């Protein structure tokens, strides 16, 4: 077992403001847990506190039933993979992997050799064991860092943006390799990234950090379909969800951005609010200037589909719509924008006030 419990963890560096406030989470043994958020939101700080590399200002970190607040990193039974790989340039691949094991002083030569050989086999690097890091590609260097984590035999592995130095294709490949390795070894993996696609594709659970606070913890599907607030809704999805101001007309009928009216599935408890419409829920049709409520600015061709970016008539708001790639829209066309009823509703503080899909069935 290797479950990590965070309870009201706070961090304050020198300034008065807390970088992190009351972070509480339970990271289950054997799960792939992703911490995501924009640059500077405190992801690395949180990971380093779990590792024991920096102290926590307040709160408690527990691994299984042991409070580890004051334990040295080496006594926490975890391993860490950094963005920079942290390899020794003058040591071979084999020696890089063996280094941490030799430093422990409690392992025999043969135990070390068997662990290193096994780890290199796991990450498919047996053939390159005598090379120096400079003789490896970025992906291979990343694999050496992974082999080090595998050889350590720790059940908790912390990774800080491990793929950010790799090109897009290699990132996808390594993503799959890390995922497979995590599953095979049953590791509790805590993985930091700012990349929402990495988070969505790999995580069992995602923690979204913003503004020094946890915004939401949930499965990828929960985070995408039932975002806690406007920030979370906007963070996930490419292109991002469209957010437009709306007012209630009567019952379930609303006016969106003073550009179009629509029927939604629920009553809204406030008169002014916001509607979130994913680009695949936006409908557009050609319209003459009298009928139109938007005009097309640019179109991006993506192969099977196109993304149309249109300027709404009111409030200078741009809306993105996903349309089939054979549709004939072009820049500067005037169009009529509308939406299906599968929308999210946010109050003016950005809190999601959409009723659950289950409730909507009977609403
Ligand atoms: N040693 C330090 N002393 C003072 N402030 C720090 C220190 N380390 C980080 N910070 C500040 O704490 C905040 C969070 O930093 P952190 O590196 O944890 O963010 P991050 O989410 O990992 O960002 P990125 O994605 O850019 O790496 C930032 O405002 C940063 O400037």
What backbone phi and psi angles, to 5 degrees, belong to 308? Answer: -100, 125
Residue nearest to atom 31 of ligand 1 (CA): 40
User: What local confidence, expressed as pLDDT, does residue 275 receive?
Assistant: 97
In angstroms, the CA 132 to CA 90 distance is 7
* Position in ligand 1 atom list of the atom nearest CA 44: 22
* Position in ligand 1 atom list of the atom nearest CA 45: 18
Instruction: Identify whether residues 105 and 10 lie together within a single domain.
Output: yes
In angstroms, the CA 27 to CA 9 distance is 14
Instruction: Identify whether residues 127 and 215 lie together within a single domain.
Output: yes
Alpha carbon of 235 to ligand 1 centroid (Å):
20
In angstroms, the CA 261 to CA 293 distance is 11
Instruction: Identify whether residues 149 and 246 lie together within a single domain.
Output: no
Q: Show which of 206, 234, 262 is a domain's final residue.
A: 234
* Position in ligand 1 atom list of the atom nearest CA 11: 12
User: What local confidence, expressed as pLDDT, does residue 35 receive?
Assistant: 97
Instruction: Identify whether residues 190 and 270 lie together within a single domain.
Output: no
Query: Is residue 320 a contact partner of residue 283, using CB atoms and an 8 Å limit?
Result: no
User: What local confidence, expressed as pLDDT, does residue 359 receive?
Assistant: 54
Instruction: Identify whether residues 12 and 57 lie together within a single domain.
Output: yes
Alpha carbon of 100 to ligand 1 centroid (Å):
27
- 272-285 burial string, b = 16+ CB within 10 Å, else e? ebbbbbbbebbebe
Alpha carbon of 33 to ligand 1 centroid (Å):
20
Residue nearest to atom 26 of ligand 1 (CA): 39
Instruction: Identify whether residues 205 and 92 lie together within a single domain.
Output: yes
Instruction: Identify whether residues 229 and 244 lie together within a single domain.
Output: no
Instruction: Identify whether residues 180 and 254 lie together within a single domain.
Output: no
Q: Show which of 234, 259, 279 is a domain's final residue.
A: 234
Alpha carbon of 44 to ligand 1 centroid (Å):
7
Instruction: Identify whether residues 229 and 248 lie together within a single domain.
Output: no
In angstroms, the CA 174 to CA 183 distance is 14
Query: Along the 363 residues of the chain, how does pLDDT read in single tens digits?
Result: 789 999 999 999 987 789 999 999 999 999 999 999 988 899 999 999 999 999 999 999 999 999 999 999 888 989 988 877 788 999 999 999 999 888 877 889 999 999 999 999 888 888 999 999 999 988 888 889 888 988 888 899 999 988 887 788 888 888 898 898 899 889 999 999 999 999 999 999 999 999 999 999 999 999 999 999 999 999 999 999 999 999 999 889 999 999 999 999 988 888 999 999 999 999 999 999 999 999 999 999 999 999 999 999 999 999 999 999 999 999 999 999 999 888 999 999 999 999 864 454 444
Instruction: Identify whether residues 35 and 75 lie together within a single domain.
Output: yes
The CATH number for 334's domain is: 2.40.50.140
Q: Which residues line ligand 1 (CB under 6 A)?
A: 13-14, 19, 37, 39-45, 194
Instruction: Identify whether residues 18 and 65 lie together within a single domain.
Output: yes
Output the CA–CA distances (angstroms, integers) from residue 130 to 90, 93, 101, 356, in the order listed: 11, 6, 18, 57
Q: Is the peptide bond before 239 cis (omega within 30 degrees of 0)?
A: yes
Ramachandran sector of residue 127 (left: φ over 0; alpha: ψ -120 to 50; beta: rest) = alpha
Ligand 1 pocket test, pick from 14, 20, 45 with the greatest ligand atom count within 8 Å of Cβ, gives: 45
Residue nearest to atom 10 of ligand 1 (CA): 13
Alpha carbon of 197 to ligand 1 centroid (Å):
22
Alpha carbon of 59 to ligand 1 centroid (Å):
19
Ligand 1 pocket test, pick from 9, 11, 13, 159 with the greatest ligand atom count within 8 Å of Cβ, gives: 13
Token pair for 163: 């793929």
The CATH number for 12's domain is: 3.40.50.300
Residues 6+ apart with CB under 8 A from 249: 255, 261
Domain count, the chain: 2
User: What local confidence, expressed as pLDDT, does residue 71 receive?
Assistant: 93
Tally helices (H) and strands (E) across the chain. 9, 20
Instruction: Identify whether residues 250 and 310 lie together within a single domain.
Output: yes
Q: Show which of 234, 250, 278 is a domain's final residue.
A: 234
User: What number of other Cβ atoms are within 10 A of residue 311's Cβ?
Assistant: 14
Q: Which residue has the tokens 């993304």?
A: 307
Instruction: Report helix, strand and coil shares of the chain as percent, to nearest 5.
Output: 30, 35, 40
Alpha carbon of 43 to ligand 1 centroid (Å):
8
Alpha carbon of 277 to ligand 1 centroid (Å):
33
* Full residue range of the structural domain in which residue 251 is found: 240-361
Query: What are the residues facing 285 on neighbouring strands?
Result: 336
């Amino acid at each position: 077992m290797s479950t990590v419990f965070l309870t009201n963890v706070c961090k304050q560096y020198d300034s008065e403001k807390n970088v992190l406030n009351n972070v509480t989470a339970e990271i289950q043994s054997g799960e792939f847990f992703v911490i995501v958020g924009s640059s500077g939101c405190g992801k690395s700080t949180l990971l380093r506190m779990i590792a024991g590399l920096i102290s926590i200002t307040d709160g408690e970190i527990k691994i299984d039933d042991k409070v580890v607040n004051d334990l040295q990193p080496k006594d926490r039974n975890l391993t860490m993979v950094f963005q920079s790989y942290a390899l020794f340039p003058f040591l071979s691949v084999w020696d890089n992997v063996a280094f941490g094991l030799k430093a422990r002083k409690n392992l025999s030569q043969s135990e070390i050799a068997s662990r290193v050989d096994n780890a290199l086999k796991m990450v498919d690097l047996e053939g390159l064991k005598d090379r120096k890091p400079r003789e490896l590609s970025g992906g291979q260097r990343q694999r050496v860092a992974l082999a080090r984590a595998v050889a350590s035999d720790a059940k908790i592995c912390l990774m800080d943006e491990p793929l950010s130095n790799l090109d897009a294709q290699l990132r996808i490949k390594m993503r799959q390799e890390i995922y497979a390795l995590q599953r095979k070894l049953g590791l509790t993996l805590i993985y930091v990234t700012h990349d929402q696609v990495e988070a969505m594709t790999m995580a069992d659970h995602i923690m979204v950090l913003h503004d020094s606070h946890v915004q939401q913890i949930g499965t990828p599907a929960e985070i995408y379909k039932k975002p806690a607030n406007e920030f979370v809704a906007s963070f996930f999805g490419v292109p991002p969800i469209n957010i437009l101001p709306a007012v209630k007309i009567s019952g379930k009928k609303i006016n969106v951005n003073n550009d179009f009216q629509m029927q939604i599935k629920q009553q809204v408890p406030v008169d002014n609010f916001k509607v979130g419409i994913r680009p695949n829920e936006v409908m557009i049709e050609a319209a003459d200037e009298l009928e139109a409520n938007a005009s097309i600015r640019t179109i991006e061709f993506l192969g099977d589909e196109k993304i149309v970016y249109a300027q709404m008539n009111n409030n200078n708001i741009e809306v993105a719509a996903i349309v089939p790639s054979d549709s004939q829209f072009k820049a500067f066309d005037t169009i009529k924008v509308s939406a299906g009823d599968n929308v999210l509703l946010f109050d003016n503080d950005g809190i999601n006030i959409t009723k659950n899909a289950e409730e909507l069935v009977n609403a």
